[in-house]
Amino acid sequence: MLGISAGIAAYKIPSLVRLLKKEGASVRVILTPDAHAFVTPLTLSVLSQEAVLSSFVSEDTDNPVWNDHVALGNWADLMLIAPATANSLSAMAHAKCNNFLIATYLSARCPVMIAPAMDLDMYAHSANQKNIETLETYGNIVLPVGDGALASGLEGKGRMLEPQEILEHTIHHFYSQQPLLGKKVLITAGPTYEPIDPVRFIGNFSSGKMGYALAHQAADLGAEVHLILGPHSLDTDEAPFTIEEINTADEMHAAVFNRYHMMDFAIAAAAVADFKPRTLASQKIKKEIGTPAIELIPNPDILAQMGEQKKNQVLIGFALETENEVAHATNKLKRKNLDAIILNSLADAGAGFATDTNKITYIGKNEAPKSFSLKSKEEVAKDIWNEILT
C-alpha cells in the first residue's frame, strides 16, 4: 500500500511503483487530495494496474461507493508513505484523520514505512522531529532523508530518498521478517494407514492440521518447505510449499530419508502407526472365515532414526502423553536425540488430535518446559517457530 502526500517528490513515485512491481509486489496507491497537483492518478493507475483512491466515497451522484479504508489497511503487508510531508507526519502522529490516506494508515495492521520529504528547516524543526520520534515509538519505520538540493533552492537535509533507495529499504524489511530465508524445512504430518486387506486399514484420528500449520508458518518465515503428509481431508490447493502424500509408515520413512540429509530443520508432527499387519491379505477378508487374528509387527521409528542420522539438522518431535507427561516427553527427547519436543497432553481439553486448537508445552534440550495456553493451531505454529528460532 503506497500512500502519497502532497510534496514535490511525489513526481518520482511512478518510478517507485514500477520498481516495486518489477520485484513482484502487488501495489495499490492512495493519494491525498492535494497530491493530485504533483502526480496524476491515471499514471499511477496504469503503472500499478489498480484503481487509485483519494477519498472516502467514489463520486457517482446516483450510486456513491464507499471506499473501505479498513479493508485496504488489512490487505497490505507493508504500508509505505512516500513522500510524507510535515503535514502528513503531524496528522499520523496525532491521529488527525483528515483524509483517506490517514484513515487507511490508522486502520493498517501491517508495518508502516515512512519516507519524509520537506525543506531543511521544516525537517529540522523541533515540532517535526518530535512527530517523527512519536511515530517511531508507535513502531513505524521512519526512513532517513537525503542531503542535497531542495525545491526551495536551498541545500540540506530534507530530500525524499530516491525510489531505488526506498525499494532497497523495502526489500531489506521483508528479508529481515524472514529468518528462515534460504533454509530447508522437512515436516511430517497426519496419520499413517497400515493396510490389512484391500479395503481395511489400521489408522488413527490425526488430521494433519498441526503439521500443516507448522509448514505454512515456516513458509511465511521464508523457508523452502517440504511436507510429507498422510491421508487427510485438508484443503491444500493454496499451500505455498511442496506436499508429498503418502499412506503408510514405510512410505513416510522412504520419503523422509530421501531428503533428510539436505535439511536444516525437521519436525515430526505425524502420528505414525507404531505397528502394521505382518501380512497384507490380497483379497478382502471374509466373515465366513471367522474372527481373524491379525499379527502385528513394528513400523520403523522414523523420528528415532532421524535422531541417529542427525548431522547439522535441528530436529523437533512431538509427544502425545496421558500421564507423567513432562517426564515421558523429556525422556523421548533424549532417547530420540532431539533438540526439542512438543508435548500434548490428552488430559487437556481441545488439545491433540482432530481439533482446530492445541495446547502445548515446549521442551527444549537443557531448557525448562514452557507451557502455552489453548490456541488455534495456526497460533500454536507461530509459538513453536518462535521458540525454535530463539
Closer CB to ligand CTP, 87 or 188, in the complex: 188
Tell me if 317 contacts ligand CTP by CB under 6 A.
yes
C-alpha dist (Å) from residue 86 to 55, 196, 261? 20, 73, 55
Residues 207 and 315: their CA atoms lie apart, in Å, by 22
CA distance linking residue 348 with residue 298, whole number of Å: 29
Residue 331 belongs to what H/E stretch?
helix 325-335
Instruction: For residue 53, state whether it binds ligand CTP (rule: CB under 6 A).
Output: no
DSSP secondary structure string for all residues of 248-275: SHHHHHHHHHHHGGG-SEEEE--B--SE
CB 300 within 8 A of CB 275: no
d(CA 2, CA 105): 10
Determine, following the binding rule CB under 6 A, whether residue 225 of this chain makes contact with ligand CTP: no
302 sits near ligand CTP (criterion: CB under 6 A):
yes
Place of cell 529481515: 176
Rounded Cα–Cα distance for residues 73 and 79 (Å)? 8
- Compute how many residues bind ligand CTP; rule: CB under 6 A: 15
CB of 341 to ligand CTP, least distance (A): 8
* 119 vs 321 by CB, closer to ligand CTP: 321
- Is residue 320 near ligand CTP by the rule CB under 6 A? yes
245 binds ligand CTP (CB under 6 A): no
The answer to whether the beta carbons of residues 191 and 203 sit under 8 Å apart is yes
Distance, CA of 390 to CA of 386 (rounded, Å): 6
Residues with a catalytic annotation lie at: 204
Q: Which of 274, 348, 378, 379 is close enough to bind ligand CTP by CB under 6 A?
A: 274
What pairs with residue 79 in β-bridges?
112
Q: Which stretch binds ligand CTP (CB under 6 A): 75-83, 131-139, 282-290, 298-306?
A: 298-306
Query: Candidates 39-47, 66-74, 265-273, 358-366 — which segment interacts with ligand CTP by CB under 6 A?
Result: 265-273
- In this chain, which of 1, 122, 270, 381 binds ligand CTP, going by CB under 6 A? 270
Beta strand segments in 205-349, E: 224-229, 242-245, 265-268, 275-277, 296-298, 314-321, 340-345
Q: Are 143 and 161 in contact (CB under 8 A)?
A: yes
Kindly tell me which residue out of 27, 315, 319, 333 binds ligand CTP, with binding defined by CB under 6 A. 319
Q: Using the minimum distance from each CB to ligand CTP, give the nearer residue, 126 or 322.
A: 322
What CA–CA distance (Å, rounded) separates 157 from 145? 6
Q: How far is the CB of 230 from ligand CTP (least distance, A)?
A: 10
Q: Is 185 in the site for ligand CTP (CB under 6 A)?
A: no
Among 48, 207, 248, 299, binds ligand CTP (CB under 6 A): 299
Instruction: Name which position in 31, 84, 268, 363 contacts ligand CTP (CB under 6 A).
Output: 268
Q: Does 265 bind ligand CTP (CB under 6 A)?
A: no
| Dist CA 273 CA 128 (whole Å) | 64
Q: Which is nearer to ligand CTP, 22 or 278 (by Cβ)? A: 278
Q: Is 303 a residue that touches ligand CTP (CB under 6 A)?
A: yes
Using CB under 6 A as the binding rule, whether residue 249 contacts ligand CTP is answered as yes
Task: Tell me which amino acid residue 363 is.
Answer: I
Q: Which residue, 162 or 274, has its beta carbon nearer to ligand CTP?
A: 274
Listed ranges 110-118, 124-132, 196-204, 294-302: which one lies at the site for ligand CTP (CB under 6 A):
294-302
In the complex, the residues that contact ligand CTP under the rule CB under 6 A are: 188, 249, 268, 270, 272, 274, 299, 301-303, 317-320, 332
